[in-house]
Amino acid sequence: MVDRAHRVRLRSDFARIRLSGRRVSHPLVRLQWVSNGLPVTRFGFVVGRRVAPRAHDRNRVRRRLREIARGTLPHLPDGIDIVFIAQAGAVDASFHELYQAVGELLARSRLERRLASPERAE
């Protein structure tokens, strides 16, 4: 779990990232990021009702994305806000598929080199 200091929580921060951030997409996840001027990297997670109508499905996708973000945090530079936005296929995707999608997005965005395979896949 990503601790509170590394979370984007304010609506105004999400709006700033959405309006002025850069983005890359994958069929499972979209990634948006912008510099935050802070000494920490922060993460935000969006899983909408259109993606998963049932709350437990949205929560499962959010938990998986949080775990992936926690694992990538040491490999990212400080001072950026990153928002993961789940796409429709994320609900049916396994942990390993989401992990690969996020690794591909981080590599394409040049925020991090391609992630190695996860140690345990759900």
User: Taking the C-alpha atoms of 96, 73, 70 and 100 in order, what is their torsion angle to the nearest 10 degrees?
Assistant: -10
Q: What's the confidence (pLDDT) of residue 120?
A: 53
Question: Does the residue 119 lie in any domain?
Answer: no
Q: Which domain holds residue 34?
A: 4-109
Q: 3-class DSSP state for residue 68? A: helix
Domain count, the chain: 1
Which amino acid appears at position 115 of this protein? Answer: L
35: CATH: 3.30.230.10
Ordered per-residue pLDDT tens for the chain, 122 residues: 677 888 999 999 999 999 998 999 999 999 999 999 899 999 999 999 999 999 999 999 999 999 999 999 888 988 999 999 999 999 999 999 999 999 999 999 988 754 555 665 44
pTM of the model: 0.86
Q: What's the confidence (pLDDT) of residue 119?
A: 61
Question: Does the residue 116 lie in any domain?
Answer: no
pLDDT digits (tens, 9 = 90+) for 75-98: 898 899 999 999 999 999 999 999
